[in-house]
Amino acid sequence: MLKRWSIPNGYKDVLRISLPLVGSMASTTVMLFTDRMFLGWYSMDAIAAATPAGLTAFMFTCFFLGVVAYTNTFIAQYTGSGEHREVGSALWQGIYFALFSGVILVAIAFTAEPIFKLANHPVEVQRLEVIYFEILMTGAIFSLLHDALACFYSGRGLTLTIMIVSMIGAAVNIPLDYALINGKWGFPQLGIAGAAYATVLGHSLILLLYIVLVFRPGNIRAFYLVKECKLKLDLFKRLMKFGVPAGISFFVEIFAFTLFLFMVGQLGKMELAATNITFAINMLAFLPMIGFSIGTSTLVGQAIGRGRPEDGVVATNSALHICFCYMVSIALIYLLFPEWLFTLFKPDYSLGADYAPLVQMGRVLLMFVAAYSLFDTGNIIFAAAIKGAGDTRFVTWTIASMSTGLMVIPVYVSIQYFNGGIYLAWSFITAYVCLISFIFWWRFKQGKWKSMRVIEPRPVIILENPGIPTTEI
C-alpha cells in the first residue's frame, strides 16, 4: 500500500489529478442538491416536477455532453505522445461539435408539452415540468461549450483550474438560486423557473471564465489555438467515431433512469417524491465519483499515448482502491442517517406526521442505494479505464442491453402487469448496477484495450512527464 503511494500513476498521481475534479463535481453536486432542497421548501409540486424535468433535460443533453467530453481522451493521448499542436486541434473539434449541438437542443425545447404529457403526472406537476425543461434546454449550449473548454485542462492533467472555476460558478449559483425561487433581495419570485434561470446563468459565468483562461497568449502560442482553429474533417470524424458511442452509452443509461422515474410516477405522488429525493441524495456519492472517472480516463489515455498501457493498469487499480473506501463511507451515511438526509427536503409547510411516511419509504430506498454504491465503484472506474483507451463501443452495447433487459423492461412489466411496488422496482436498479460492474471488470482484465488508440498511429515518444510545463491558471 505504501509503495503504491509514490509510484507513477499510484495513489498520489490519481489523487493529484482526480481530487480537484472531485472538488469540481462536488460543486456541481452542491448546486443540484441545494436547488432541489430550495424547491422542496418551496412546494411539493415543485420538487415533484424538478427531478423528472431536470433528468429529462439532462437525458437529451447527455448524448452531446458525452461526445464533447470525449475530447478529453484525444487531448490526453496527444499529451502523452508529446503532440502539443494537435491538442489545440482536438480542442477546436470539441468546440465545433458543442456549437452544433446547442442549436439542436434549442429546437428540442419546443417539444416539452408532448413529452411530459406521456408521463401522465398530475396536471400542475406537468405544467412545472414544462417550464423547467424549456429553460434548461435553451441554455444548455453554455454547459456544452464550457465542458469542451474544460477538456483543455483535464486532458493534460491540470485539474486545479477546473475545480476553481466550478467553485466560482457554485458560489454565484447557490444564492442566485435561492433568490430567484423565493423572491429575495429584490429579485422576483419565480419558483421553479427561478431555479432554471439560476442554473443557466451559473453555466454562462463558468463559460466566460474558461474563455478568458484558455485563450491566454501563452496557451495560444504553445498549443497553436489560433492557427489550429479550423475544422479538420479527419480529426472531427475520428472524434465522432469514438465519441458518439461514448455519448450513446451516456444517453442510454440516463434514458433508462428517466423511464424509471416516469414509471414510478404512476405509482403515486409519494413514491415519485421519495424516489426524486433519493436520487438527489445519491448525487452526493455519484457526481464526485465522476471526478475519479475523468481522472482515471485521463491517466489511461496519457499512458496509451506514451505507449505504456501498463501505467494505465496501475492508475486504474489505484483509483479503484481509493473510490471503494469512499463509497463504503457514503454507504454508511445512508444507512446510519437516512431520516436526517430526508429532513433536509422537508417543506416548511409540512407537519411531521404528514412527512413521516415519505421518510420511512426513503429510508428503505437508501438501503438499496447503499447496496449498489459499492458495486458502482467498479462500474465507474473500469468503464472509465477502457473508454480512456478507446473501447467505447463495448461500453455502449453493454449499457444499452443491460439497462433495457435488467431495468426498463422488468420495471415496466412489474408495474403494469403484476402490480409491483416501489421496492421491487428499486431491486431491478440494484441488480443492473451490480451486473455491469462485473462485466466491465471482466473486459478490463481481458486487456484488449491495451492495444487501442484513438489518435492517428504515429511513432510514440516515450515521455516520463508529458506535457508543457505551465501553471494551472
Q: List the pLDDT tens digit at each of the 473 positions of the chain.
A: 667 787 888 899 999 999 999 888 888 878 887 888 888 888 888 888 887 888 888 888 999 999 999 999 999 999 998 888 899 999 999 999 999 999 999 999 999 989 888 877 888 888 999 999 999 999 999 999 999 999 999 999 999 999 999 999 999 999 999 999 999 998 999 999 999 999 999 999 999 999 999 999 999 999 999 998 999 999 999 999 999 999 999 899 888 887 888 888 888 888 888 888 898 888 767 777 888 999 999 999 999 999 999 999 999 999 999 999 999 999 999 999 988 888 877 765 455 556 788 888 999 999 999 999 889 999 999 999 999 999 999 999 999 999 999 999 999 999 888 888 899 999 999 999 999 999 999 999 999 999 998 987 665 454 454 444 455 66
Q: What is the number of residues in the chain?
A: 473
Within 13 Å, how many C-alpha atoms sit on residue 324's CB side?
Answer: 12
User: How far is 347 from 409, CA to CA, in rounded Å?
Assistant: 34
Q: What is the 3-state secondary structure (H, E, C) of the chain?
A: CHHHHHCCCCHHHHHHHHHHHHHHHHHHHHHHHHHHHHHHHHCHHHHHHHHHHHHHHHHHHHHHHHHHHCHHHHHHHHHHCCCHHHHHHHHHHHHHHHHHHHHHHHHHHCCHHHHHHCCCCCHHHHHHHHHHHHHHHHCHHHHHHHHHHHHHHHCCCCCHHHHHHHHHHHHHHHHHHHHHHHCCCCCCCCCHHHHHHHHHHHHHHHHHHHHHHHCCHHHHHHHCCCCCCCCCHHHHHHHHHHHHHHHHHHHHHHHHHHHHHHHHHCCCHHHHHHHHHHHHHHHHHHHHHHHHHHHHHHHHHHHHHHCCHHHHHHHHHHHHHHHHHHHHHHHHHHHHCHHHHHHCCCCCCCCHHHHHHHHHHHHHHHHHHHHHHHHHHHHHHHHHHHHHHCCHHHHHHHHHHHHHHHHHHHHHHHHHHCCCCHHHHHHHHHHHHHHHHHHHHHHHHHCHHHHCCCCCCCCCCCCCCCCCCCCCC
Angstrom distances, CA of residue 342 to CA of 157, 254, 310, 419, 435: 37, 24, 44, 27, 29
Q: Are 42 and 198 in contact (CB under 8 A)?
A: no
Specify the amino acid at residue 398: T
- Pick from 15, 14, 35: which is nearest to 283 by CA? 35
Chain centroid to CA 153: how far?
17
User: How far is 232 from 466, CA to CA, in rounded Å?
Assistant: 24
Cα 123-140-137 angle, rounded to 5 deg: 20
Q: What are phi and psi of 428, to 5 degrees?
A: -70, -40
User: How far is 68 from 101, CA to CA, in rounded Å?
Assistant: 9
Say what the pTM is.
0.85
Looking at residue 339, its pLDDT comes to 87
Grid cell digits, residue 306: 506514451
Angstrom distances, CA of residue 220 to CA of 123, 232, 382, 441: 52, 18, 35, 40
Grid cell digits, residue 43: 412546494
Q: What are phi and psi of 51, to 5 degrees?
A: -70, -45
Looking at residue 52, its pLDDT comes to 83
User: How far is 417 from 355, CA to CA, in rounded Å?
Assistant: 30
- Pick from 34, 28, 33, 26: which is nearest to 288 by CA? 26
Looking at residue 343, its pLDDT comes to 81
User: How far is 86 from 17, CA to CA, in rounded Å?
Assistant: 22
User: How far is 287 from 425, CA to CA, in rounded Å?
Assistant: 23
Number of neighbours of residue 453 by Cβ within 10 angstroms:
19
Specify the amino acid at residue 182: N
Q: Are 256 and 408 in contact (CB under 8 A)?
A: yes
Looking at residue 353, its pLDDT comes to 59
Q: What is the CA radius of gyration of the chain?
A: 22
